Amino acid sequence: MWARRASAISSPESNADPIGPSGLSLTGERVSDPLTKEEIRGLVAGYAQAAADAKRLGFDAVEIHGAHGYLIDQFFWENTNKRDDEYGGDIVGRTRFGVEVIEAVRAAVGPDFPIIFRFSQWKPVDYNAKLAPTPEALERFLAPLSAAGVDIFHCSTRRFWEPEFEGSDLNLAGWTKQLTGKPTITVGSVGLDSEFTSLFAEGKGADNVGLDALVERLARGEFDLVAVGRALLNDPSWASKIREDRAGELRAFTREALGSLS
């Protein structure tokens, strides 16, 4: 969840403090000093170098992880970003680090190499958190990231079927596509009737939950791609069965199957 300062990289045995925009944990506890601007520049360069290396090694795209309390998300979230310089402030100011990372990655990989950017509203310590509580706030948040060079937004939610805002059936990916005009990926408990942690605790099975609606929403263009994780690990033929209208043959999630994925 936390990156660490250079001394920890060169010496794995060291107890170097984790890094973050303001040196705060996700619960607001001070765990280190805030990042310096020099350190921020070094981190941006590191993202760019990693993307360039991925392209050189033959990858087809890169995905920048800006969700779930990881470093870029810590800059986004006001609980962990209390900076009073250009990297802090309102929801737009807090995107600056992410914007610089995207711009540096774009410069490193060129104009035609796809950049995917993953973000989330929820946080590991607060599943009900809203980085952007309204569509207007979400549009303000996404605009600088989109302009920086994102090709596809990966919109992480715990349950893909839940509307993001009152008054609309659109989920986070649907809203993001509408607001930016960019392709989006939806994700979140695909194939399950609850999020994974509840499913595991309750031991329920799920073999074809909400998939017809998911396919319909994909077909009408609410979002462009669907990310599938645990359902695919549980049944490697999951995508083929959905494509061939064989959802009834999907392997059910059971407590035993879930245990093998934990």
Q: Cβ distance 24 to 80 under 8 Å? A: yes
Is there a contact between 223 and 185 (Cβ–Cβ < 8 Å)? yes
Confirm if 18 and 2 have CB atoms less than 8 A apart. yes
| Active-site residue, from 47, 70, 87, 127 | 70
Instruction: Look at residues 208, 164, 206, 211 and name the one whose alpha carbon lies nearest to residue 184.
Output: 164
Q: Which two three-digit tokens encode residue 63? A: 């995905």
Rounded CA separation 162/172 (Å): 9
The phi, psi pair for 144, rounded to 5°, reads -70, -30
Q: Give the distance from CA 140 to its chain's centroid.
A: 18
Q: What is the residue type of 26?
A: L
Is 47 an active-site residue?
no
Which of 89, 87, 90 lies closest to 39, judged by CA? 87
d(CA 97, CA 36): 12
Active site residues: 70
